[in-house]
Amino acid sequence: MCGIVGYIGRRQAQPVLFNCLSKLEYRGYDSCGIALLGDSIQVCKDEVRVKALEKALPPIAGLAGIGHTRWATHGEPSRANAHPHCDCTGRIAVVHNGVISNFQRLKDKLISTGHVFASETDTEVLPHLIESYYQGDLEEAVERSLADIEGSYAIIAVVAGEAKLVVARKDSPLIIGIGDRENFVASDVPAILDYTSRVVYLEDGDIALVTADGVRVRENGARIDRAEHLIQWSVADAQKSGYEHFMLKEIHEQPRVIRDTLREYISADGLAAEVIPSGEGGLENMLIAACGTSYHAALIGKYIIEQLVRVPVKVELASEFNYCGQVPPGSNALVITQSGETADALKTMKKLKEAGCQVLAITNVVGSTASRIADHVIYTRAGPEISVAATKSFISQLVALYWMALPHARVDLRTLDELIMELRQLPARVQEVLDNEAAIREHARRLARFNDVFFIGRGANYPVALEGALKLKEVSYIHAEGYAAGELKHGPFALLGAEAPVVAILASDHTGEAMLTSIKEIRARKSPLIAVVEEGNEAAGEIADSAIIVPRVNQVFSPVINTVALQLLAYYAARERGCPIDFPRNLAKSVTVE
């Protein structure tokens, strides 16, 4: 969601802040601003992109400052609602990510004592609260203010005339980057990679004092040492490397990502150690929770585990499970979150742990909140994913799920060896899909003229249909819906016709005949139809108006191959329509509020 940065050190802060903010644009935002710290505080903010604000400002001296990209929650996008926010005197400035649930009550109380507010935001109560408690010690004033706050926050506060940043977090991510006679604060690692790879992850309840010379962290009033981590990503990993968009680059990185993820799990001798030892219940009574694209991975994981291990799996939307879900006794729990900071997923993890579950997490970010809450962690090794639309992180989640299931698979040794061999060959098969990019682009060009599209699949490819529809609507703004093919007859048939194309995923498995029946029913209703079919099954594809041919694999792995084809379809449809592919409107990469 919102992006936060802070700097204090030996450089001029203004260019550092803008550079860091530009690295957080992928999180999604509608306004931005900076505050430069000196004897006074100079705030510059507007409802514009980071580059536009940077270009509009003259050089402003200052060796410390804070910055923010805002994704509107309380109050519409505007200059007044953009961060940083100040108190009435203009001496205290704050940037904030999260939601203050009791802000109206606090605001009313502050107004009654003479405070004047300039915005509609919940955040603005923070600088006013801090000012009301400030008696020369900013750290103490922040701590007392936070005791009044209900909700979530990651904040940086500054006061004029004091060369320090005071930072704090609760349920929103915040890191400190350690430099040489300079230090950085950010909501995510890519913001600071140009300057340092040394990072301290703050925990819930931490308050830290950051100066040019050091960092002091306190938890519940007591001094505490937080471990320093070395980030393995490079600056190049977070750049476009010649691609027009990050999304296309990340789609093309998927063969490498699969290899890197597999390297964690499979050696030359076969499978690495089981992530859930059989003695701890294996995959029995498995409950998987996730949100968005990760939820689609969870649904595919259900099919993988049930097919290979032959045990039932329950899958929950984390956002619903937090309010309605019950934890079955004896559950093994898995939570999937790309960023490791998804608010709904983290809340689910805490609920599961309170119910006595051992919680496993699949995440892409070492040191993320999810990795610290979980009892066991599987890292997906996808590297930084900058485009808001998840692609390579989704594929790496599937690879992690295959590895979870294979050690417990109820198959003979020969079949297991064949499955492992196919898993090793997935990078090559995905590359074959990418090599067919030009043909997929032509399909996308034709699809881009429509305003409504249906995706259908059966079995493990039903969640692939959901993911294909999500990708298309995320980046192209075409209304798209994913369905289990058998469900079209239960309502959606009313919408079929010449202006409602269907993308059908035909797997060469036990669902094949039923899918052909569904396709014939669709053709009878005049909907343009694109079939995704495997090599050797071209005859099935001939029933459709056109076909995307993908390589043949064991059907348990077909979701990987079919998803990559649909990612390219969505990307090129969006490109044809001239959409801002990496930064879709209203969306954010890391959803850190409920």
170 is catalytic: no
Alpha carbon distance 29, 77 (integer Å) = 9
d(CA 456, CA 466): 8
CA pair distance 478, 574, nearest whole angstrom = 9
Give the distance from CA 366 to its chain's centroid.
14
Residue 291 annotated to the active site: no
Tokens of 360: 């496993």
Q: Residues 384, 26: contact at Cβ < 8 Å?
A: no
Sort strands 452-457 and 502-505 into parallel, antiparallel or unpaired. Answer: parallel
Contact of 304 with 331, CB cutoff 8 Å: no
DSSP 220: T
Query: In which element (H, E) is residue 557 found?
Result: none
Residue with tokens 């940065």: 5
- Strand ranges of the sheet holding 198-201, from the earlier edge strand across to the other edge: 41-46, 31-37, 64-70, 3-8, 183-186, 175-178, 198-201, 228-230
Q: Which residues have a Cβ under 8 Å from the Cβ of 587 and sit 6 or more positions away?
A: 28, 388, 474
Q: Report the 10 Å Cβ neighbour count for 267.
A: 10
| Cβ(184)–Cβ(353) below 8 Å | no
The tokens of 284 are what? 């029995």
The arrangement of strands across the sheet holding 479-484 comes to 479-484, 452-457, 502-505, 529-534, 546-550
3-state helix, strand, coil in the chain (%, to 5): 40, 25, 40
CA gap 415, 438 in Å, rounded = 35
Catalytic residue among 249, 351, 392, 589: 589
Nearest 5°: CA angle at 98, between 72 and 357? 130
Residue 135 CB neighbours (<10 A):
8
DSSP state of 74: S
Q: How far is CA 213 from each of CA 14, 125, 142, 428, rounded to the nearest angstrom?
A: 19, 30, 21, 49
Residues in the chain: 594
CA distances from 221 to 135, 385, 438, 454 (A): 18, 36, 60, 55
The answer to whether 63 and 9 are in contact (CB under 8 A) is yes
Q: Which of 2, 20, 32, 357 is catalytic?
A: 2
Catalytic residues: 2, 589
